Structure 1
Amino acid sequence: MKISVVRPDELGPAELTAWRQFQKDRPELQNPFLAPEFSVAVARQRPTARVAVLEDADGIAGFFPFEVRNRVIGVPIGFGITDCQGMVARNGFAVDPMALLKACKLPVWEFDHLMAAQFSGFHTSTMPSPLMNLGDGYPAYVEDRNKSGDVVKQTLRKQRKMVREVGDERFVWDDRDPAGLAALRDWKSAQYLRTQQYDRFSTPWISGVLEELQASANDDCRAVVSTIYAGDRPVAAHLGLRSQSVLAYWFPSYDMDLSKYSAGILLCLRMAESGAADGIRQIDLGKSEALYKTRLMNDETPVAAGRVGRSWSVTTARRTQTAVSRSLKQGALGEKLKSGRTGKVLRGLKARLASR
């Protein structure tokens, strides 16, 4: 087997055609985060973005997109904003994980939203990612949800109340009006501040990726803004990533002042209805135990977290860091860890591992 490592934006027409064909041949690979366009968009913003091109006797067999963080830590490409990770390969193709990491010059590769069928011996945990399965159409989805609960009926009651008290509802599936995106960014940034998370929209590389994917006209992978208005007022919006058949639930938000109308859930239902009419067969809500996702889901897919390691020292150091970070808030001790023994192990191994 031959494994070549290049930047995603260096791939030629033959490689891109093969990548897209593997996705078309395998429904489980049709998530837009696995599309070559996503990797290329990230590569234009992230200098350490790479893709391993795997070839066997029959030609190109697969693609393994990744990034290098802190010089020695491998992660899926777009790590931090991607909810579906893994290798895109010909059906039935398998690779030795250690040989793959060696070719990529990675001592360790960490993941948190990996398709659970891949690298199964290296999972530390698995969790269901809830789905809105629209394969039988939106009416069938609504019928299923009505049998399981009252989320649709309750949401529509609140929608009628919103119409009476705020203004007529208007939903735009593919909203090109800057007002919808501007409202979404404001709401989401305020949410990040409230929850003490870093603001994705103010992170330069993320903004660059979003701008490129929003400008794309390729239905295999492009960003779509969907907005609900009450009168002329935006009340909920979502920036998602779509392929021809899958919509990844990505950046949702809503006007907190109108939260009593459950506009966020209404937005999901409107996206499901319009998306189903536009070829979307699945909305991947992303792994979470949020109650609203549990109420909306009618299917699920497992995703895994874990790491593949060929260096005992780095893998152990990373395992220690991960365990400690779960029990510590960011602060003085967290900063000390970066320069302490664990950090020293990682820094001391950089030169030696990079040459392997």
Structure 2
Amino acid sequence: MRVSIIHPRELGASDIDRWRDLQTASPAFDSPFLSPEFTITVGSLRDHVRVAVMHDGPDVVGFFPFERHPLGIGKPVAAGLTDAQGMVHAKDVEFDPARLIKSCGLAVFEFDHLVAGQPLLPLRHSRHPSPVIDMRAGYDSYIETIKATSGKTYRTTAYKSRKLQRDVGPLRYDHATTDTAALRTLLGWKTDQYRRTGRTDRFARPWIVELVERLHATDSEHFAGAMDMLYVDGLPVAGHFGLRTATTLAGWFPAYDPAYAKYSPGLIQHLSMAEKAAERGIQIIDMGRGEKEYKEKLKNGEYHVAEGRIARPSAGAGVHWMLRVPVRKARGTVLANPALRNTADRALKTFGRIRASVQS
């Protein structure tokens, strides 16, 4: 096995075609976050993005996109933003993970959404569910399943949709819109949500805003940004920006206008999005790892992703362990316990309200 390290901009047309062939050969890799276009776009904004190209003799057998940070700390591309991570590789490829990260110039590689079937997977790791909307049997079949498993939610959402139209006006749904104004509205809602709930505002970082804008402008058969917006009486009330391959839509940034919260516009929007996406050939909507009530109500299946790290003896790996591992374990303990998770969530929302009042 020979490994060459390049910047994403150095990928040639043949490399991209081979990457895409490997990606489409396995359902486990059918995520836009594992598409070459995503790594190339992030690499155009983040100079520390690299791709390890793996060769077995004359054949390219895998691509491993990663970020290389000081002290040899390795992370997935756009770490903290992505719901699918890892390498895209040929079936049954074998290699030593420690040797790979050494070839990448890394002391450690940490991950929290490593997809299934990865030769990278270390012995010690944790597995977490990633809920999905599975429409491989069709949208109508999905709806019948939801009526059986979340009947109350479905009926209530349908009722609120009718009430919203009675109270305000007719609904309109724009699927895969290229309207940049709609995108700006959505990002504004998302920023307000982050601040209101005490979370860090991702869009305070200009490179993330630029990334979303560039991805929104990308549209091809294999990869595209997907912007949806729900309107009532001509006014935007809920939307979502995600990424898609030909058959999978990755949930990314959903948000709504809190002035319409009593109508559950997010649920109305997600069901409309699923219907329109199915019409365009989308079979899976991956809502991503995370304990969110709407995901539990809408899911009819789940994948699993792994969290952990690969390390080799080095000072950088030692520093990383001290700074990251105890924090990650504590976070995992909180998220695994509903009582602790709810307490932490209330504390963050309280912090958000205090921060908003101070800033106003």
| Shared fold per TM-score greater than 0.5 | yes
| Contact kept? 1:123, 1:305, Cα under 8 Å | no
Question: How far did residue 123 of structure 1 move?
Answer: 4.4
| Contact kept? 2:28, 2:117, Cα under 8 Å | no
Aligned to 1:125: 126
How high is the sequence identity, in percent, across the aligned residues? Answer: 39
Q: What's the TM-score once normalised by structure 1's chain length?
A: 0.88
Aligned to 2:96: 96
Instruction: Specify which of 172, 175, 196 is matched with residue 173 of structure 1.
Output: 175
Instruction: Specify which of 283, 299, 302 is matched with residue 300 of structure 1.
Output: 302
Aligned to 2:257: 255
Amino acid at match of 2:189: W
Superposition pairs of residues 1-356 of structure 1, within 5 angstroms: 1-57=1-57, 59-118=59-118, 119-150=120-151, 151-325=153-327
> In structure 2, how many angstroms separate the alpha carbons of the residues matched to 1:124 and 1:23?
24
Helix, strand or coil for the counterpart of 2:122? helix
| Contact kept? 1:116, 1:126, Cα under 8 Å | no
| Worse-matched range after superposition: 119-128 or 143-152 | 119-128
Question: How far did residue 121 of structure 1 move?
Answer: 2.4
Amino acid at match of 1:200: R
Helix, strand or coil for the counterpart of 1:121? coil
| Worse-matched range after superposition: 97-106 or 121-130 | 121-130
Question: How far did residue 304 of structure 1 move?
Answer: 0.8
| Contact kept? 1:122, 1:307, Cα under 8 Å | no
| Contact kept? 2:175, 2:276, Cα under 8 Å | yes
> In structure 2, how many angstroms separate the alpha carbons of the residues matched to 1:3 and 1:323?
28
Question: How far did residue 215 of structure 1 move?
Answer: 1.2
Question: How far did residue 291 of structure 1 move?
Answer: 1.5
| Contact kept? 1:7, 1:51, Cα under 8 Å | yes
| 1:263-302 CA distance string (max 9 Å, x none) | 1011111111000010100000000121210111001000
Q: What's the TM-score once normalised by structure 2's chain length?
A: 0.87
* Structure 1: 4+ residue segments shifted above 6 A: none
Count of residue pairs brought into register by the alignment: 328
| Worse-matched range after superposition: 109-118 or 2-11 | 109-118
Unaligned runs of 5+ in 2: 332-360
> In structure 2, how many angstroms separate the alpha carbons of the residues matched to 1:311 and 1:208?
37
| 1:42-89 CA distance string (max 9 Å, x none) | 100001100000000350000000001234210011112111001001
Question: How far did residue 323 of structure 1 move?
Answer: 4.3
Question: How far did residue 324 of structure 1 move?
Answer: 4.6
| Contact kept? 2:228, 2:239, Cα under 8 Å | yes
Question: How far did residue 320 of structure 1 move?
Answer: 2.4
> In structure 2, how many angstroms separate the alpha carbons of the residues matched to 1:319 and 1:122?
17
> In structure 1, how many angstroms separate the alpha carbons of the residues matched to 2:221 and 2:244?
7
| 1:140-190 CA distance string (max 9 Å, x none) | 000011111222222111100000011111111112233321221111111
> In structure 1, how many angstroms separate the alpha carbons of the residues matched to 2:180 and 2:121?
43
Helix, strand or coil for the counterpart of 1:127? strand
> In structure 2, how many angstroms separate the alpha carbons of the residues matched to 1:221 and 1:205?
20
| Worse-matched range after superposition: 308-317 or 74-83 | 308-317
Helix, strand or coil for the counterpart of 1:267? helix
Aligned to 2:344: none
| Contact kept? 1:219, 1:242, Cα under 8 Å | no
Unaligned runs of 5+ in 1: 329-356
Amino acid at match of 2:117: A
> In structure 1, how many angstroms separate the alpha carbons of the residues matched to 2:322 and 2:92?
35
> In structure 1, how many angstroms separate the alpha carbons of the residues matched to 2:325 and 2:25?
39
